[in-house]
Amino acid sequence: MCGIVAYVGRKIAQPLLIEGLKRLEYRGYDSAGIAVIDQKGAMHIRRAVGRISVLEDALQRVPTLPDASLGMAHTRWATHGAPTEANAHPHTDDTGRIALVHNGIIENYAALKKFLTNKGHAFSSQTDTEVLAMLIGDLYADMQVKNQVLPGTSLLQQAVQAALHEVDGTYGIAVICKDEPDTLVVARKGSPLIIGVGQEEYIVASDASAIVEHTTQVVYLNDNEMAVLKPGSFRTTTINNITISPVISQLENKLEEYELGDYEHYMLKEIFEQPSAIRNCLRGRAEQKESRIVLGGIVDHTRELVRAKRFILTGQGTAWHAGLVGDYLMEDLAKVTTECTYASEFRYRNPLVEEGTVVVAISQSGETADTLAALREAKEKGALALGIVNVVGSTIARETDGGIYLHAGPEIGVASTKAFTCQCVVLTMLALFLGRRKFMSQSVCHEMIDGLCAVPEQIERVLEQSDHVKQIAREFCDRENWLFLGRGYHFPVALEGALKLKEISYIHSEGMPAAEMKHGPIALINEGMPVVFIATKGSQYDKVISNIEEVRARGGKIIVVATEGDTNIHKYSDHVIEVPHALEPLQPLLSVVPLQLLAYHCAVARDCNVDKPRNLAKSVTVE
């Protein structure tokens, strides 16, 4: 959710930190701040409520921060305490010696705050983060008085380690101290931190987008690990001060993939990137000539997967919708019992994980807190754990027994688009991978793979209708209540279409199975209400037509996603958006694209902030 950037090296820190914050804007935030320490040991902090541009204005109204080469910056998404300047990061202890930025939640902050208050410390914010800064400062002062510096460590490192042993919850932190003006200490548990390794410099961030401009060499911190960084040297340890040999990895994505280019918004760019993203996702995996699916990330577990009795697909939001599509795919194509469940509910209901259960965690970022917790619960109960993620080196990717990367490229827009279609593609390949090894004939597999490989070009044809969809959006964007209805494979698509509309245009919308409408929601239909049906040619086409008639009879306005060449559908509809014909299991990959465009154009028409919708964050790393 929140964003962290920190730097230590030979360069001037301030411009680098501000630029890093801008690259993290998509994660969602409500305030921002920066702290640097100059060579004389003076701490300089600026904080502001609102966008990073407000922080920049504040920096221009006061003397420029000095030519400091150590500093850190933060974008905050409020959890404990309202979005105010006092609650913005960085936070300091009450001496002003220690400064800290933090992603995550300190669950026992109230008890720690009471303890520190009783010791005479005075707090100035409502945040759990200030409690951690104060605790580190208190421990630092005690160690300094007692002269307890251990050989090979710094006092700051020891104080941070001691404080983290008292903390319950999750954190990704960066800490600096006026008394050690060349030292940056970072640590993580449950909230991602990446260390970019440059020439005698290090840039730490919660996301690779803030690093890739400066270096492609990175170290991914694991839970309960920390690093002490100085110009030209760094040391990684556990929070118990056990030295760890760092593994330096190469970032997969290039800088230009994070750039907006000629598009007005990242969301529109990513909608139009779906054909190339799916081609990348399929490359080397869907072999048309041999009618074969190759999934190197799970090949070592082939026997366990084929013999599995049950699959549980888990995720949140759009990833959960992809999991619902996967539920249909796995039972239809692989003929295996499958359940799709919210990750946030999974670990709290004491789930039954029997022998032969495979749990698949689906997350674009690979850092979603609820999904990671569900994955760990499943592993604890003995399940084989797989991951479907987009971000290489993410926590879920590293904690699974195996998995499949999306290779969709960076997704910056908060409203997920290309990740959803690539998740559905991966789940289709997984179902084919298993189905072919169990019962599926080569001819059926060949037909499916051919259909899958045709999808990128078919989506390009759908995208050509963007202006047509824009006109529909402009006609209905002032209506405050919408329904999205579909059957079978298109029920999850209806959910996804409704989610896209509500999260970026702030229109109340509901998705549901078309047959469910008669069991209550039909009472909502009134004159002129927009109702979106997914009515492509398939096994339930006639049933959907009947549902359309029921809405028309009550005055609803019918917007239909239909198969190209279906002349019959026009007499039941006010507006039709056509998609190419596809095999029924592949239709969601096409029918969701008009709904993405519809949500986008509605949001633009309503003058909403498409890429940074209110109250939302791209990567939800707290529960």
502-529: pLDDT as tens digits: 999 999 999 999 888 878 888 888 888 9
What pLDDT digit, counting tens, does each position of 113-133 carry?
999 999 999 999 999 999 999
The per-residue pLDDT for 618 is 65
Whether pLDDT at 302 is above 70: yes
Longest dimension (CA), the chain: 85
DSSP SS3 for 391: coil
**What is the mean pLDDT of the segment spanning 328-354?**
92
Alpha carbons 222 and 507: distance in angstroms, whole number: 40
**What is the mean pLDDT of the segment spanning 237-262?**
86
Alpha carbons 363 and 440: distance in angstroms, whole number: 29
Query: What band does 33 get if pLDDT is binned at 50, 70 and 90?
Result: very high
Query: What band does 1 get if pLDDT is binned at 50, 70 and 90?
Result: low
Residues 56, 167, single domain; the answer is: yes
Alpha carbons 142 and 101: distance in angstroms, whole number: 22
Q: Is the dihedral of CA 623, 321, 558, 519 positive or negative?
A: negative
**Which residues lie closer than 8 Å to 616 by C-beta, 6 or more apart?**
28, 414, 503
177 against 77, higher pLDDT: 177
Cβ atoms of 333 and 359 closer than 8 Å? no
Report the share of the chain in percent with pLDDT over 70: 98
Residues 227, 179, single domain; the answer is: yes
Question: The domain spanning residue 64 has which CATH number?
Answer: 3.60.20.10
Q: Which of 462, 492, 514 is the last residue of a domain?
A: 462
Q: Which helix (H) or strand (E) holds 55?
A: helix 52-61
Q: How many CB atoms lie within 10 A of CB 337?
A: 14
**What is the mean pLDDT of the segment spanning 342-363?**
91
Residues classed as catalytic: 2, 618
Alpha carbons 386 and 362: distance in angstroms, whole number: 9
Q: Which of 433, 462, 491 is the last residue of a domain?
A: 462
Q: Tell me whether residue 185 is in a domain.
A: yes
DSSP SS3 for 272: helix
Residues 196, 278, single domain; the answer is: no
Q: Tell me whether residue 614 is in a domain.
A: no
Residues 436, 521, single domain; the answer is: no
The per-residue pLDDT for 520 is 84
Alpha helices in 464-527 (DSSP H): 466-476, 490-505
Residues 154, 276, single domain; the answer is: no
Alpha carbons 222 and 229: distance in angstroms, whole number: 16
pLDDT, averaged across the chain:
92
Residues 550, 506, single domain; the answer is: yes
Cβ atoms of 532 and 597 closer than 8 Å? no
| Tokens standing for residue 219 | 């170290």
Report the share of the chain in percent with pLDDT over 90: 73
The per-residue pLDDT for 191 is 86
Whether pLDDT at 28 is above 90: no
Q: Tell me whether residue 618 is in a domain.
A: no
**What is the mean pLDDT of the segment spanning 339-363?**
91
Whether pLDDT at 610 is above 60: yes
Residues 262, 222, single domain; the answer is: no
Q: Tell me whether residue 623 is in a domain.
A: no
Alpha helices in 180-317 (DSSP H): 266-272, 274-282, 302-307
The per-residue pLDDT for 564 is 96
Q: Which of 223, 251, 279 is the last residue of a domain?
A: 251
Which residue is listed with tokens 């509309």? 501
Which residue is listed with tokens 């759009």? 318
The per-residue pLDDT for 63 is 67
- The answer to which of 22-31, 341-350, 553-562 has the lowest mean pLDDT is 22-31
Which residue is listed with tokens 């449950």? 190
- Paired strand residues for 363: 389
What pLDDT digit, counting tens, does each position of 199-208 carry?
999 999 998 8
The per-residue pLDDT for 516 is 85
**What is the mean pLDDT of the segment spanning 585-596?**
98
Give the burial string for 458-497 (b: 16+ CB within 10 Å, else e).
Answer: bbeebbebbeebbebbeebbeeeebbbbbbbbbbbbbbbb
Residues 406, 489, single domain; the answer is: no
Alpha carbons 561 and 573: distance in angstroms, whole number: 10
Q: Tell me whether residue 94 is in a domain.
A: yes
Residues 476, 354, single domain; the answer is: no
| Tokens standing for residue 449 | 């793979």
Residues 437, 323, single domain; the answer is: yes
Residues 245, 388, single domain; the answer is: no
What pLDDT digit, counting tens, does each position of 66-99 carry?
789 999 999 987 776 788 888 999 999 999 999 9
How many domains, in total, are found in the chain?
3
Q: Tell me whether residue 566 is in a domain.
A: yes
Q: Tell me whether residue 25 is in a domain.
A: yes
* Domain ranges, residue 27: 3-251
Residues 456, 497, single domain; the answer is: no
Q: Tell me whether residue 247 is in a domain.
A: yes
- The answer to which of 221-225, 424-428, 600-604 has the lowest mean pLDDT is 221-225
Give the burial string for 207-235 (b: 16+ CB within 10 Å, else e).
Answer: bbbbbbebbbebbbbbbebbbbbbbeebb
Query: What band does 57 get if pLDDT is binned at 50, 70 and 90?
Result: confident
Which residue is listed with tokens 């959910």? 495
DSSP SS3 for 337: strand
Question: The domain spanning residue 449 has which CATH number?
Answer: 3.40.50.10490
The per-residue pLDDT for 184 is 97
**Omega of the bond prior to 90 within 30 degrees of 0, cis?**
yes
Whether pLDDT at 62 is above 60: yes
Alpha carbons 143 and 9: distance in angstroms, whole number: 27
Q: DSSP letter at 257?
A: G
Whether pLDDT at 328 is above 60: yes
The per-residue pLDDT for 621 is 58
Query: What band does 51 get if pLDDT is binned at 50, 70 and 90?
Result: confident
